[in-house]
Structure 1
Amino acid sequence: MSSKAGKAKKAKGGGTDTVVNNRRAFHDYHVMETYTAGIVLTGTEIKSIRAGKMSINEGFAKIENNEVFLYGSQIAPYEQGNIHNHAQNRTRKLLLSKREIKQMQAKVQEKGLTLIPLKVFFKGPWVKVELGVCQGKKLHDKRDTLKAKDAKRQIDRALKERS
């Protein structure tokens, strides 16, 4: 018996393998723009990510000294690791070009915008993070989004019954 729980989803055709999606980010934020960044990791962190033991729900990114760092993400300790296993909640450096960092910095300086990790995926052997420049939703925006999703669901259901 093999269990799919905790495993990364494999893409067909050598594309990208999604490990973690931050679905809560799309509920709580308007995503204005997205960037793809590499991430600096240790060996045991890579092994834990391949096993699907990562969470970015509490994560956010900050720009400090023209470098981007990921805070609040959790990578569970590798089960077969030894005493040199990685720290679960450490700050991780993100790899972006200078041009992308300057663009991000200009956008994030606007009031109410922040950098949120949207998903983590494998692109070949490399782990990548998709960052979104996001603006927080107000309560009525969240309600409007839920109403629109519910209306779309009802329309789809009605169309399915007709055909």
Structure 2
Amino acid sequence: MAEKRKSGMITHGIAAQNRKARFDYKILETAEAGLVLKGPEVKSLRLGRATITEAYAAERDGELWLFNAYIPEYQGGVLSRFEPRAARKLLLHRRQIAQFLGAVARDGATLVPLDIHFNARGVAKLTLGLAEGRKKADKRQAIAERDWQRDKARLLRSKGRDY
């Protein structure tokens, strides 16, 4: 849950989420990565206005970068402007970078950003998932499973009321 101050800014909690990623991909492994951001970008994230549904992570010069994440300009009177869809460097340990890049090269996996959140210390972090794509039949099966779980919960709730 996102905890908010009176100003409406998120102090800790989820700032942006890629909900469709868990449907389109099978998440094999996740890691928490730091983000290199400028001050106005952090302020814009705290307002919860970012979008990462079209974003992806890839390698550039042996480092991981986040591409196509949309963080709109902060409108609070700050003079420094930034590019909303600029590439942003991800901070991970060398071993984690090597592990992710090896899986991408070896297995054809994809690096998908799952969410941007603020930890308990108020630092912006990105949950990065190592994923493999789902086929159309797998998506149908996931929908059927989700619907069954929803119906099962509904039935159990209604049974509990009768007793």
Same fold (TM over 0.5): yes
Which position in structure 1 is the counterpart of 2:122? 125
Partner of 1:156: 153
Counterpart code for 1:143? R
Alignment match, 2:18: 22
Q: 1:58-86, CA deviations, whole angstroms, 9 ceiling, x for partnerless residues?
A: 00000222210000100011012444211
Moved more, 83-92 or 55-64: 83-92
Partner of 2:92: 96
**Is 1:40 matched with 2:36?**
yes
Q: TM-score with structure 2 length normalisation? A: 0.88
In structure 2, how many angstroms separate the alpha carbons of the residues matched to 1:18 and 1:45? 15
Does the CA-based 8 Å contact 1:77-1:85 persist in structure 2?
A: yes
In structure 2, the gaps of 5 or more residues are: 5-10
Q: C-alpha distance in 1, partners of 2:12/2:44?
A: 17
- Mapped contact 1:58–1:72 kept (Cα < 8 A): yes
Secondary structure of the corresponding residue to residue 118 of structure 1: strand
Give the paired residue count: 153
- Residue type at the aligned position of 1:84: S
Structure 1 residue runs without a partner (length 5+): 1-7
1:147 partner amino acid: A
Which residue of structure 2 lines up, in the alignment, with residue 5 of structure 1? none
Matched residue type, 1:45: E
SS at 1:58 equivalent:
coil
User: CA 1:129–1:88 in structure 2 vs 1: closer, same or farther (change >3 Å)?
Assistant: same
CA contact (8 A) 1:10 1:18 kept: no
**Residue identity opposite 2:36 in structure 1:** V
Residues in 2 aligned to 1:43 and 1:149: alpha-carbon distance in whole angstroms: 40
The RMSD of aligned alpha carbons is: 1.7
Q: Report the Cα distance in structure 2 between the residues aligned to 1:156 and 1:110, rounded to whole angstroms.
A: 40
Give the percent of matched residue pairs that are identical in Structure 1 and Structure 2: 34
The amino acid across from 1:10 in the alignment is E
Cα distance in 2, alignment partners of residues 111 and 122 from structure 1: 31
| Residue 10, structure 1, aligned to residue 3, structure 2 | yes
1:53 to 49, 53, 58: 49
